[in-house]
Amino acid sequence: MFCFFSLQGYGQSDNPHGEELKMDCAACHTAQSWEIPASFWTTKAEEGQTPRFDHNDTRFNLEGQHAFTDCRFCHETLVFSEANSECISCHTDMHEMTVGTDCARCHTEEHWLVDDVYSIHLENGFPLLGAHATASCDECHVSASDLQFPRIGNDCFTCHQEDYVSTTTPDHVSAGYSIQCLDCHEVNAYDWSASNIIHDFFPLIQGHDIADCNACHTTGDFTVPVPTDCVSCHLDDFNNTTEPDHQALGFSNDCAACHTLAVDWMPAQFLDHDALYFPIYSGNHAGAWQNCNECHTTPNNYSLFSCTDCHEHNDLNQLADDHNDVPNYSPASTACYACHPDGAE
Ligand code: HEC
Ligand code: HEC
Ligand code: HEC
Ligand code: HEC
Ligand code: HEC
Ligand code: HEC
Ligand code: HEC
Ligand code: HEC
Ligand code: HEC
Ligand code: HEC
Ligand code: HEC
Ligand code: HEC
Ligand code: HEC
């Protein structure tokens, strides 16, 4: 009891912690001595005892190794607020200003090892993938052993200029290939080979998802220009068509006007069908069919068609009923088409 009062009676002028500290002295001191044994901070306050100071109530949490660090190591003066909370104010920058002052970007208070080197690189826009993941730090960061990581830049050419210049198959320099390696080489590649080539300038997808580069680069030399227009490579396919016979119908050579790269050339569009014959992409029949042969039921003869395969299935009697008042009604498809050339009432 007595000790407690004497502590409270201690005047502010005798307070070595500065005017600002408005805390109860007993939160940290006991009556025994102003000196505070280390055990004071580690033993938990038992029930009924004065609550002990919790550093996490200040502006600075004691995480990781800091929780076991002596107050005096951080608080050189007893005016606690004078401590600076920037990591670099207490820790030597081992990196000699090569990575900036924000240590917490890469480190925690647990230890100085960097657990997540991958993320550091990802944040720099240079994910360590493929051959880069297995390369050692100092192959790229020449002064890594001195913990110095000055900027080297992400540009492939910076590090691979020699590789580029000494290429032979194909000779990149004489071919005039871009020095943006990523135009053609994958960032996650383990080597420079064809299996890791990006081909976005002419996407190798769907029907063009072909492993054999020579199917198109027939000379085997990538520097020999290859045509990009469909018909240059697909003239035979065009000439051999039967369903429908493209030549007989006078279809243009511009495959892409009707085709995508979808395998088997299906589905294909024939937009002129609406204006030339019968609306199938507009009007009542837009979306009403899947395949041409739902109307053109006779393979290879597009002059034949059936309307009743669909409309009969609805209800033949109903159809007849609907035409009760229509003179000359006939259930033949050619008759349907003659009276409904636009597929509308
Ligand atoms: C947040 C905890 C905390 C509070 C609250 C606190 N002190 Fe301290 N005080 C310390 C620490 C830590 C030391 C250093 C003890 C050591 O080194 O063993 C210290 C040391 C002292 C010393 C010895 C100074 C020296 O030079 O060795 C005095 C005197 C003292 N405090 C007075 C006070 C008074 C008076 C109050 C209340 C107004 C107070 N303290 C409140 C933590 C605190
Ligand atoms: C790892 C370093 C570190 C350790 C260890 C540490 N502190 Fe701090 N402490 C700080 C920092 C940094 C601040 C924030 C200073 C600020 O911005 O006001 C702070 C703030 C404080 C404050 C609040 C000051 C105010 O006016 O708001 C008190 C009180 C304090 N510390 C007491 C202690 C005591 C007592 C111990 C030992 C149990 C201790 N500290 C251990 C770094 C530390
Ligand atoms: C107010 C001073 C202070 C601040 C601010 C501070 N530290 Fe500390 N830190 C210390 C002291 C003192 C130690 C214990 C002595 C030592 O190991 O250097 C320590 C220990 C450490 C340790 C353990 C080192 C080991 O070898 O086990 C790590 C890691 C650490 N601090 C990281 C950080 C990081 C990261 C920050 C910023 C988020 C930071 N510190 C901010 C003072 C500080
Ligand atoms: C961009 C990330 C990055 C930043 C920012 C950074 N470091 Fe490091 N630090 C590293 C790497 C990487 C290592 C090597 C450790 C490893 O390989 O795990 C390292 C190692 C360390 C080591 C251990 C050195 C040794 O001898 O083992 C210390 C100490 C250290 N850093 C302090 C700091 C301090 C202090 C700051 C802030 C000024 C800081 N670091 C900022 C990435 C960083
Ligand atoms: C294949 C090359 C390569 C390898 C291997 C590599 N790095 Fe990097 N590193 C880079 C590039 C590129 C950057 C980001 C661009 C820059 O520094 O300008 C970078 C950035 C860094 C940075 C700085 C990040 C920053 O934000 O300041 C650190 C630290 C770093 N690397 C550490 C390492 C460590 C540690 C290893 C080994 C575990 C490693 N690197 C392996 C290429 C590499
Ligand atoms: C900071 C330097 C650096 C940068 C930037 C860099 N690399 Fe690398 N790269 C290396 C190192 C080191 C190796 C492993 C050693 C070697 O094979 O040359 C490597 C290996 C490779 C390999 C495997 C080569 C082989 O045959 O083993 C490829 C492919 C590659 N890098 C592509 C790229 C691409 C694409 C970029 C641009 C996104 C790039 N690199 C940016 C340093 C770099
Ligand atoms: C226009 C596309 C393209 C660009 C851009 C490109 N390459 Fe290539 N590269 C290729 C092709 C295709 C191959 C051959 C792949 C195969 O068949 O194995 C190749 C192969 C290579 C080879 C191995 C061939 C040899 O003769 O050694 C290296 C090394 C290489 N490229 C480096 C680079 C570098 C470095 C860059 C950027 C500075 C780059 N390439 C940019 C398309 C490209
Ligand atoms: C389906 C056909 C096709 C296949 C398969 C194909 N390419 Fe190509 N490739 C082309 C066409 C078309 C061009 C011309 C693009 C242009 O000029 O815009 C071309 C261009 C290129 C170029 C030259 C780019 C330039 O800037 O000069 C390279 C290099 C290349 N292809 C590499 C490959 C590799 C490697 C493969 C196998 C992985 C491959 N190609 C598979 C059709 C193909
Ligand atoms: C440089 C040559 C080349 C060019 C240009 C080209 N192709 Fe191809 N295409 C091929 C090769 C090779 C194949 C695979 C062999 C085959 O099926 O003929 C193929 C396959 C296809 C297939 C798959 C055929 C099937 O049977 O599954 C379609 C669809 C196709 N191409 C459409 C097109 C279209 C549309 C264009 C124009 C935008 C085009 N191609 C341009 C070479 C080319
Ligand atoms: C006016 C539109 C149009 C044009 C232009 C066109 N096609 Fe077609 N093509 C079609 C339609 C419609 C089909 C049938 C799709 C279906 O049955 O669903 C088709 C089917 C095909 C078929 C498969 C049928 C068969 O008989 O083998 C091939 C192959 C084909 N086209 C190749 C080509 C080629 C190559 C070109 C360019 C040189 C081309 N087409 C241009 C509309 C067109
Ligand atoms: C909903 C019914 C319907 C669908 C679906 C349809 N057609 Fe037709 N098509 C017609 C009708 C009706 C005519 C006009 C017949 C006439 O003039 O003798 C016609 C005419 C044609 C002709 C002209 C035949 C000739 O010899 O004059 C061709 C070619 C043709 N269609 C191709 C197609 C292709 C290819 C598809 C699929 C992409 C298709 N049609 C889908 C109803 C359809
Ligand atoms: C693939 C199935 C199919 C074929 C084949 C088909 N139709 Fe249709 N037709 C429909 C569907 C679905 C509708 C819209 C729903 C409805 O009104 O029954 C429709 C609507 C109509 C309508 C308008 C009905 C209204 O209430 O306004 C007429 C008229 C019509 N078709 C005539 C024809 C003629 C003529 C042919 C042959 C050239 C034909 N259809 C072939 C499926 C088909
Ligand atoms: C001689 C001309 C003629 C013939 C042939 C004909 N229709 Fe019609 N159709 C009409 C007329 C006119 C109407 C409008 C009747 C009404 O509103 O009372 C009609 C209405 C329809 C309707 C709309 C019914 C409703 O109530 O919504 C459909 C669907 C239809 N016809 C389909 C067909 C089909 C399929 C055939 C062939 C089996 C066919 N028509 C043959 C003239 C004809």
- Give dist(CA 42, CA 101) in Å, integer: 32
CB atoms < 10 A from the CB of 254, how many? 11
pLDDT of residue 49: 58
- Give dist(CA 251, CA 238) in Å, integer: 9
Tokens 């072909």 -> residue: 210
* Residue 110: pLDDT over 90: yes
* pLDDT tens for each residue of 117-140: 999 999 999 999 999 999 999 999
* Residue 6: pLDDT over 50: no
244 to each of 15, 239, 250, 268, 270, how far by Cα in Å?
99, 11, 11, 11, 11
> Measured in angstroms, how far is the CA atom of residue 289 from the centroid of ligand 13?
19
> Measured in angstroms, how far is the CA atom of residue 180 from the centroid of ligand 9?
27
Cα 92 to its chain centre, rounded Å, is 37
Q: Whose CA is nearest to atom 25 of ligand 6?
A: 191
- Ligand 10: which of 228, 233, 259 to mutate, judged by most atoms within 8 Å of the beta carbon? 259
Those residues whose C-beta lies under 8 Å from the C-beta of residue 60, and which sit 6 or more positions away, are 83, 85
Question: Any idea what the Cα angle at residue 242 is, between residues 334 and 231, rounded to 5°?
Answer: 125
> Measured in angstroms, how far is the CA atom of residue 290 from the centroid of ligand 13?
23
75 to each of 41, 72, 213, how far by Cα in Å?
15, 5, 68
Q: Whose CA is nearest to atom 23 of ligand 7?
A: 192
> Measured in angstroms, how far is the CA atom of residue 138 from the centroid of ligand 1?
49
* pLDDT tens for each residue of 218-244: 998 888 899 999 999 999 999 999 888
* Residue 5: pLDDT over 50: no
